[in-house]
Structure 1
Amino acid sequence: MTAAHVIADDAEALAVAASLAAQFRAGAAERDAGRRLPRAELDRLSASGLLAITVPAEHGGADVSARTLAEVFRLLATGDASLAQIPQSHFAYVNVLRRQGTEGQRKFFFAELLAGKRFGNAQSEAGTKHVQDIRTRLEPQPDGSYVLTGVKHYSTGALFADWIPVLARAEDDLLHVAYVPRDAPGLTVVDDWDGMGQRTTASGTVRLDSVPVPADRVVPHHLTFTGPQLHGAVAQLLHAAIDAGLAGAALEAAAEFVRTKSRPWFESGLDTAAEDPLLIQRFGELALQVRASDALLVAAALAIDAARADLTDATAAEASIAVASAKAFAATAAVEVSSALFEVAGTRAALDGLNLHRFWRDARTHTLHDPVRWKVQHLGRHILNGTPPPRHGLL
């Protein structure tokens, strides 16, 4: 891979994201249909400099706003929702370094990011009691280093990564993140993801068999949650942006199909399907969902930016609540709009060769990441009883 471009500011980040989204859109249906993993496209993403846009200015990065970062993800998702999902964890683990990394760790890894290197993730585990029941162990060694042992699932981005951040518990049973090179001895990434949607994320299995980890590659992630934090809000904001982009892409695909391929229903007496007042009404309803998703996404991003400028328990809580609202609405909109695509486009839209069902498959799969019902619970508790949202990193 050639040396990465360094993006200067928010405006350039948005322009680059829009250009890449258009390029990725052209091959999205074919990649999904054949489950062709987007290695070349990810190399373009790395070379573009987008993966380093949250590097702090003092380390040479653009340090873009949350509003810009959210819009970058929304744009990428309009082109290819699977591809947009891959760097979500990348930015979450950049934030871990920003908050808890030592100066030496930040200097090293931010230089890696500016050079175009990618973070994957090895976080979730299968067969445990719940999502935060992490059993991967980081065992200390006599020389001060560590050894990692465990098995991770749904490891989006790991197959394509230069570095794989691994969530593990140390001897104190507290959560740490170990940043491990993709080619570390004892580390194996298995391409065994077979989901019905998000087919090209390669969200497979990471096996860790006594993987050596130097002490300076370990970050105390548990400290993130001891005070007001935006880690969960930023991570969830990017998920909401993917859902909002998916909803917008599905609506545009439906409109294009109706304008160019659909026949009018014979009872309408009209020459084109696009003139049908019943279809026009339905498209208006769907457009409202997409516009509302986009507006809530912007509001959530602005709440994060405001909290960054003045981080307190109150501002962090407001950011989490705003993001929960955006995520809950966008997730619902993505599923409903991508399903309604077939309602408005008609029978021909269901032909497998057109692969229009990828929008619904992607939306239905991505929105399973964490349950919307709990987001709504926290919203209700907050408005009715003033209960602040929890600090667990998923809100």
Structure 2
Amino acid sequence: MSAATVIADDAEALAVAVELSARFRKDAAERDARRRLPHTELEQLSASGLLAVTVPAEFGGADVSTETLTKVFRLLAAADASLSQIPQSHFVYVNVLRRQGTYEQKEFFFGEVLRGKRLGNAQSEAGGKHVQDIRTRLTRLPDGAYVLDGVKHYSTGALFADWIPVLARADDDNLHVAYVPRDAPGLTVVDDWDGMGQRTTASGTVRLESVPVPAERVVPHHLTFRGPQLHGAVAQLLHAAIDAGIASGALAEAVDFVRTKSRPWFESVAEGYGTAAQDPLLIQRFGELAIQVRATDALLTEAARAVDAARDDLTEDSAAEASIAVAAAKVTAAEAAVGVASALFEVSGTRSALDSLGLHRHWRDARTHTLHDPARWKVQHIGRYVLNGTKPPRHGLL
């Protein structure tokens, strides 16, 4: 890996994201169709410096605002939703280090990130009672080091990572994160992801068999949730940005298709409208879709600003406001992603359903990604907060 650029500020981060998104958009449909994993594109992402933009200034990073990071993800997702999903966990686990890492841990890992190293994830498990039923064990040895044992699923980013953060329970049953090198003995990453959407995320299985972990690579993640926290809000906001990007990308594809490839409906021609783009019924529908995308973007921006405000003054109240704002953005973005990606075919007509065009990737990505966690519970927490002033719970999914 060549040396990574060190991005200086928010403006440079956005400029780089704009340039990369244009580059990644060109072959997005082909990568999806062939399930060509984006190794080259991820090397470009690392070299660009974007993966280090949340490193604190104290350690040499740009420490960009949450609003800027959200815009970066939306731009990348509008180009390629699979590719944009891969670094989501990277930023989440950089955030874990910011919150609970020792100075020495921050100095080491932030240095790695500034050099373009990627963090993956080994968090979710299958077969448990629920998503928080983590059974991977971090067992302490007599010399103070640890070993990891367990099986993880949906491990987005692990296949491409230099370091894999592993969520596990220690002997005291509390949750910790162990940062494990990708080539650690006993660690195996299996490329067995076969989702209908998000095809190139390689969100497969990680197997851990007596994986050695030095004590200095373990972070006490459970402490994150013992006071006001933004861990869940930031993680969910990036998911919302991906959904918003899918909606935006699908709308842009629909506009291009109708302008350049669609024939007008014969009744429209009879009424005097010469092209599909002049059809008043299509104009009406595009207006409705544009409003939905704009509303999503507005809520996304509001949520990002709420997170930034809470980061500057973190209290129970500011954390609750941020979580609720993010929940509202996430629910709206999920609806927009699925709805606009489906409407792409409605407005574009039969030809748009040809497999060779790859336009269905937007809907498949939206339908797959929005299953990450149920929006219905977010609506519940919003309602409880508005009606009864009940603050949302502290966990990583809100």
Give the TM bin, normalised by the shorter chain: over 0.9
Q: What's the CA shift string for 1:19-71, capped at 9, x where partnerless?
A: 00000000000000000000000000000000000000010000000000000
> How far 1:215 moved relative to its partner?
0.1
Using the size of structure 1 for normalisation, the TM-score is 1.00
* Letter of the structure 1 residue corresponding to residue 388 of structure 2: N
SS at match of 1:62: coil
Counterpart in 2 of 1:89?
89
SS at match of 1:168: strand
Q: What's the CA shift string for 1:269-327, capped at 9, x where partnerless?
A: 22100000000000000001100010000000000000011000000000000000000
SS at match of 1:200: helix
> How far 1:72 moved relative to its partner?
0.4
Q: Is 1:66 aligned to residue 66 of structure 2? A: yes
Q: Is 1:272 aligned to residue 275 of structure 2? A: yes
* Letter of the structure 1 residue corresponding to residue 31 of structure 2: R
SS at match of 2:167: strand
Q: What's the CA shift string for 1:111-162, capped at 9, x where partnerless?
A: 0000000000000000001000000000000110000000000000000000
Q: Identity rate of aligned residues, in percent?
A: 80
> How far 1:379 moved relative to its partner?
0.5
Distance 2:47 2:281 in 1: 46
Q: What's the CA shift string for 1:361-392, capped at 9, x where partnerless?
A: 00000000000101111011110111100001
Distance 1:79 1:281 in 2: 25
> How far 1:245 moved relative to its partner?
0.5
Counterpart in 1 of 2:331?
328
Counterpart in 2 of 1:37?
37
User: Runs of 5+ in structure 1 lacking a partner?
Assistant: none
Match of 2:297 among 281, 294, 299: 294
Counterpart in 1 of 2:251?
251
Distance 1:366 1:20 in 2: 22
4+ runs deviating over 6 angstroms? none
Distance 1:242 1:167 in 2: 23
Counterpart in 1 of 2:99?
99
Query: Counterparts of 1:215-234 in structure 2 under 5 Å?
Result: 215-234=215-234
Counterpart in 1 of 2:237?
237
SS at match of 1:51: helix
* Letter of the structure 1 residue corresponding to residue 76 of structure 2: L
Counterpart in 2 of 1:374?
377
How many residues align structurally?
Answer: 395
User: Runs of 5+ in structure 2 lacking a partner?
Assistant: none
Counterpart in 2 of 1:121?
121
Counterpart in 1 of 2:22?
22
Counterpart in 2 of 1:148?
148
Q: Is 1:214 aligned to residue 214 of structure 2? A: yes
Counterpart in 1 of 2:395?
392
Distance 1:95 1:195 in 2: 28
Counterpart in 1 of 2:158?
158
* Letter of the structure 1 residue corresponding to residue 282 of structure 2: L
Counterpart in 1 of 2:359?
356
Distance 1:330 1:46 in 2: 27
Q: What's the CA shift string for 1:206-237, capped at 9, x where partnerless?
A: 00000000000000000000000000000000
> How far 1:393 moved relative to its partner?
1.1
> How far 1:178 moved relative to its partner?
0.1
* Letter of the structure 2 residue corresponding to residue 378 of structure 1: H
> How far 1:195 moved relative to its partner?
0.1
* Letter of the structure 2 residue corresponding to residue 127 of structure 1: G
Distance 2:179 2:348 in 1: 47
Using the size of structure 2 for normalisation, the TM-score is 0.99
Counterpart in 2 of 1:193?
193
Distance 1:98 1:219 in 2: 11
* Letter of the structure 2 residue corresponding to residue 250 of structure 1: A
Distance 1:358 1:92 in 2: 26
Counterpart in 1 of 2:168?
168
Distance 2:377 2:14 in 1: 32
CA RMSD of aligned residues (A): 0.4
Q: Is 1:134 aligned to residue 134 of structure 2? A: yes
Distance 1:136 1:260 in 2: 53
Distance 2:310 2:40 in 1: 37
SS at match of 1:105: helix
Counterpart in 2 of 1:303?
306
> How far 1:345 moved relative to its partner?
0.1
